[in-house]
Structure 1
Amino acid sequence: MRTSARALGPRRDAGRRVVLLTVEFDAMVRCATIMTPSLPTAVPRDPAERPKELPVSESETPDPTPTPRPTPRPAPRPKPPSPAALAGRKPSAPLIPVAPPVQDYDEDSIRQALAFGDIDENGVVVVQDGTQKRELGPATSTDRDEALTPFARGYLDLVAFLDVTQQRLAAPALTQADLNRLLENLRKNMKEPQVIGDIPALRARAAELREAAKEKIHVLEQERLEARETATTERTAFVESIEELVATDPERMSWKSSGERMRGMVGEWKRMQKEGPSLDRATEDALWKRLSSARSAFDRKRRQFFSHLDEQHAEAEKVREDIIRRAEEMQHSTDWGPTVRAYRSLMDEWRAAPRGNRKKDDAQWARFKAAQDTFFTARNEDLRATDAEQKENLARKEELLTEAEALDPSTDLEKAKEAMRSIQDRWDEAGKVPRSDMRRIEDRLRTVERSLRQAEEDEWRRTDPRTRARVEGASSQLHEAISSYQEDLDRARQSGDPERIRKAEEALEARRQWLEVIERSARDLG
């Protein structure tokens, strides 16, 4: 599990932190001395006699430096560790923010702080800490102000410490580790401080700073939780997308693009780990287990798919080889019609055959097409020769049609019939014509044949004795019927009955019309 960058702190700021740690260690030593009950009597009052502070540039720390104020110093002062030593290990004691450079405090501030301290009858320095008095240690001088002033300066050092802490809290780039360190420093420095001054006010201010720090920690924690939740959602969505990819039907999966995505899966997971916040161990382990399981399932499905695909390709190759064998057996056939139908059937089988390896499919298709081309090339050459012959046949038949259409059966029916029989014999000898012209010329010949048959039927009806006898008998019967119906009409007119007259007239007129038709037929026969 990789260590969180937030927990370790940005590595790029290591150099700046080394300088800050050195200065903070120096401030820690000063405050620790202030909080010690027994203080030395010899405190250098001249700033020139005090040890110099390590320089801190504005680019190395974001803390604004308040007005310099003096702070009491232990004698002798312990030597601070080197930056190289601090860079290689954590400080053994909690660090506090940078204290201002040592210089004298103004007399009014010292005098206000002295008002909270005193020396009791036993020569012990005491401080008014809220409602109780607390002993700080034996007085080092009989003069009250001289004995209490170092404690008052310690109080002002703590005020300066809170000022710096407040400035640090206002910085925009604080991490949770920074805030935890500030809280620890506040806790240690404000636990019964060995100073003289308005300690309740100091504690109240420190409590406000603690609440502000806790609020920032709470905000950072919420941001961290939200970032973790977002990262969890993002990584879960990533894992689900991989699982969805693995669940795709093998027949519909693009194995090339899917394989590339699966190969980049671990790199993408590591990128999300590196760039995003760390997840809790259980969640990250569960997601990684799902991701690893999906990768294993993908590899298994790919092996199974391509194994099955190899079997399909082998079967497809076998089926197509059989089709090619039959195609090559027919390629020199001259039985055009059945062979064309057989090749069409083979093409249907080729399309229905399972897919094989592309290279082998292409090679087999080339062999199958070569067999077809051999047959159809020979057939097309034969068709071209046949087409030329049929065009010559068409020209001969059109000449015969012209001769047939010139026949006139009305002048000499028997001669026209004999000429037609000669034309029909020569028509059959002429042979086949192009399919596109066949119906046209056949229809013209059938028209001439129908006209001859009609003329022959008309002549037969005209010269048949039985037909003539039937016509004459019908005419005689109609003449007798007309005479009878004429008598009926005369009697009806004599009776004066209009209905009877009308019926008699209609019956007589019908017989006259029939007689007219029969007499016209008799004239045609004659």
Structure 2
Amino acid sequence: MSSDPWGRVDETGTVYVRTADGEQIVGSWQAGSPEEALAYFTRKYEGLVVEIGLLERRVKSTDLSAKDATTAIVHLREQVDAHHAVGDLDALRKRLDALTVTVEQRREERKAEKAQQNVQARQSKEALVTEAEELAQSEQWRAAGERLRALVDAWKGLPRLDRKTDDELWHRFSHARSAFSKRRKAHFAQLDSQREEARQRKEKLVAEAESLSGSREWGPTAAKYRDLMQEWKAAGRAQREHEDDLWHRFRGAQDVFFQARSEVFAERDTEQRENLTRKEELAVEAEKLLPVTDLKAARAAFRALNERWDAIGHVPRDARPKIEGRMHTVERAIQEVEEAEWRRSNPEARARAAGLTGQLQDAVDKLRGQAEKARAAGNTAKAEKLEKELAGRQELLDQALKGLHEFGG
């Protein structure tokens, strides 16, 4: 019989292991010596020690799941409880018990972590849903659309919740995206409709602008082009592929008209500057008629100059008042001489002037006599009043005498 601290082999070849519950049969050994039997079953024990050690390290240092760890523990415990090894099996059971406690702690920790993750995941998904529902009302179509796509990616990166909660949140999230897509589609459909209306309106404006490009009614047509431009701005933008082409045609038609007008105006401006030079020469000739010494000759000369003036045509607008003012000055001077001559040669006017002069002379003589009489009588106040009235009548008499002198009287 052979033995060691943890087992023995009896005379029949039966191998025993010592445990806290007493000896347990390990097996039967008939192929060799008792020492070889103990050595064999000791190696099996050492194998169990190695496996348990590996499992302990995996539980401690890897992300081995609690389920897989428990399965491995059960498997090793079955081997230990089978008593097919010689060694301190009770110590192995204690290590497995301790490992079971560790795995259960890990299970609870992971359960708590998962619960916390679920809370965070729910909060994150609720935040995504809230933001999606806000974006569903946005009219920032591009930015909101890009943000909603980013929210979908963020959703996919979050863990699933319980089915009911996850489905409810996803329904809200999906509904918000659908609502936004529906609004955006309606918006762009309306925009397409508006742009099509704008294209049709601008086609008509282009046609009208092109029909006016050959007009030579410069003022009315330029005003019409201004009206067309206001209508163009009010029409809104057409589709991108049409807008630029329509604008080039519209602008091109205007350019044709305004280029032609510019050429005509440039030619007209040159002609009017030449007219101004010629009229300035006539104004110099007219001014040489002053002062008028021979009314008949001056009048005939001015009439001839005026005929030449009218035949010349228009001058630049800004120069017109000054040049016409010079001719009017000469014309007015001749007219004044004519009026004076007429007054001198008008018998009725001279008679009226003579009569007025006589009346004023009588009034002056009468007032002078009354004033002298009042002063002689010592009535100074009355004398001064009469003398003041006398001075006014004398002034009127002097003017009348001057007028009468112009008549040659």
Question: Normalising to structure 1: TM-score of the pair?
Answer: 0.56
Q: Does 1:264 align with 2:155?
A: no
**Which secondary structure does the structure 1 equivalent of 2:70 belong to?**
coil
Residues 59, 389 of structure 1: alpha-carbon distance in 2 compared, 3 angstrom cutoff: farther
Which aligned pairs between 1:8-157 and structure 2 lie closer than 5 A?
39-41=20-22, 52=49, 54-55=52-53, 89-91=68-70
In the alignment, structure 1 residue 294 sits paired with structure 2 residue 176: yes
Give ranges in structure 2 of 5+ residues lacking alignment. Answer: 1-18, 25-41, 75-89
Pairwise CA distance, 1:58: 11
Alignment of 1:133-282 (within 5 A): 178=106, 180=108, 224=116, 228=119, 234-249=124-139, 253=140, 255-271=141-157, 273-274=158-159
Deviations 1:308-332 (A, max 9, x none): 2332233222222222222222222
Give the one of 346, 351, 356 matched to 1:469.
351
> Is 1:242–1:291's contact at 8 Å kept on the other side of the alignment?
yes
| CA distance in structure 1 between the aligned counterparts of 2:185 and 2:346, rounded to whole angstroms | 96
CA–CA distance in structure 1, aligned partners of residues 146 and 313 of structure 2:
70
Q: Compared with structure 1, are the counterparts of its residues 405 and 86 closer, same or farther at alpha carbon in structure 2 (3 Å cutoff)?
A: closer
Which range is displaced more, 279-288 or 494-503?
279-288
Partner of residue 246, structure 2: 364
Mean Cα displacement is larger for which, 288-297 or 326-335? 326-335
1:480-502 Cα offsets, whole Å, 9 max, x none, are 22222223223322443343233
Contact 2:66 2:104 in 1 (8 A): no
Corresponding position: 1:445 with 2:327: yes
Q: How far apart are residue 399 of structure 1 and its match? A: 1.0
- Matching residue of 1:406: 288
1:461–1:361 distance in 2 versus 1, CA, 3 Å: same
1:335 is displaced (CA, Å) by 2.9
- Identify if the C-alpha distance between structure 1 residues 495 and 285 changes in structure 2 by more than 3 Å, giving closer, same or farther: farther
* Paired letter, 2:68: R
When residues 177 and 288 of structure 1 are mapped into structure 2, their CA distance, relative to the original with a 3 A threshold, is farther
Kept in 1: contact 2:128–2:151 (CA 8 A): no
> What is the count of residue pairs matched by the alignment?
350
Taking the aligned partners of 1:177 and 1:446, their CA distance within structure 2 comes to 120
On the 8 A contact 1:245/1:258 being kept in 2, the answer is yes
SS of 1:247's equivalent?
A: coil
Deviation at 1:346, TM superposition (A): 2.2
Deviations along 1:257-282, one digit per CA (max 9) or x if unpaired, are 333333333112223x15xxx66665
In 1, are the aligned partners of 2:364 and 2:394 still within 8 Å (CA)? yes
Q: Secondary structure at the match of 1:89?
A: helix
Contact 1:401 1:445 in 2 (8 A): yes
Q: Aligned partners of 1:500 and 1:360: how far apart in 2? A: 101
Is residue 319–residue 353 contact of structure 1 (8 Å, CA) maintained in 2? Answer: yes
Report the residue type matching 1:466 in the other structure. E
Query: What is the distance in 2 between the residues matched to 1:379 and 1:316?
Result: 30
SS in 2 for 1:332: coil
Structure ranking higher in helix proportion: 2
* Aligned-pair CA distance for 1:520: 2.5
User: Higher relative contact order at CA 8 Å, sep ≥6: structure 1 or structure 2?
Assistant: 1
Give 1:296 deviation, angstroms. Answer: 1.0
Question: For residues 422 and 179 of structure 1, what CA distance do their matches in structure 2 show?
Answer: 126
Deviation digits for residues 431-450 of structure 1, max 9, x if unmatched?
Answer: 12223323332232223222
Query: Cα distance 1:297–1:401, how it changes in 2: closer, same or farther (>3 A)?
Result: same
**Cα distance change, pair 91–61 in 1 and its aligned pair in 2 (3 A):** closer
User: 2 CA distance for matches of 1:57 and 1:460?
Assistant: 145
Q: CA separation of 1:283/1:418 partners in 2, compared to 1, >3 Å: closer, same or farther?
A: farther
Cα distance change, pair 419–239 in 1 and its aligned pair in 2 (3 A): farther
Q: 1:351 and 1:398, CA in 2 relative to 1: closer, same or farther beyond 3 A?
A: same
Following TM superposition, the consecutive aligned residue runs of length 4 or more in structure 1 with deviations greater than 6 angstroms are 56-63, 85-88
The amino acid that maps onto 2:197 is E
Instruction: Give the equivalent residue in structure 2 for 1:378.
Output: 260
Q: Give 1:419-498 correspondences, 5 Å limit.
A: 419-498=301-380
Aligned to 2:81: none
CA contact (8 A) 2:363 2:393 kept: yes
- Structure-2 separation of matches of 1:299 and 1:437: 68
- The aligned residue for residue 24 of structure 1 is none
Aligned to 1:149: none
Q: Is the 8 A contact 1:327 1:346 kept in 2?
A: yes
Residues 114-137 of structure 1 deviation map (CA, whole Å, 9 limit, x = unaligned): xxxxxxxxxxxxxxxxxxxxxxxx
Q: Give the Cα–Cα distance (whole angstroms) in 2 for the partners of residues 92 and 58 of structure 1.
A: 13
CA distance in 1 between counterparts of 2:253 and 2:213 reads: 5
RMSD over aligned CA atoms reads: 4.1
| Identity, % of aligned positions | 37
Shift of the 176–386 alpha-carbon distance from structure 1 to 2, 3 Å rule, reads farther
> TM-score scaled to structure 2, two decimals?
0.71
Are 1:327 and 2:225 matched, yes or no? no
Residues in 2 aligned to 1:514 and 1:86: alpha-carbon distance in whole angstroms: 136
Deviations 1:138-172, CA, capped at 9 Å, x for gaps: xxxxxxxxxxxxxxx99xx89xx7xxx9xx9xxxx
- Spell out, residue by residue over 1:102-122, the C-alpha distance to the aligned partner (whole angstroms, 9 max, x if none): xxxxxxxxxxxxxxxxxxxxx
- Check 1:442–1:245 CA distance in 2 against 1; reply closer, same or farther (3 A cut): farther
Alignment deviations for residues 169-190 of structure 1 (CA, whole Å, 9 cap, x no partner): xxxxxx99538489xxxxxxxx
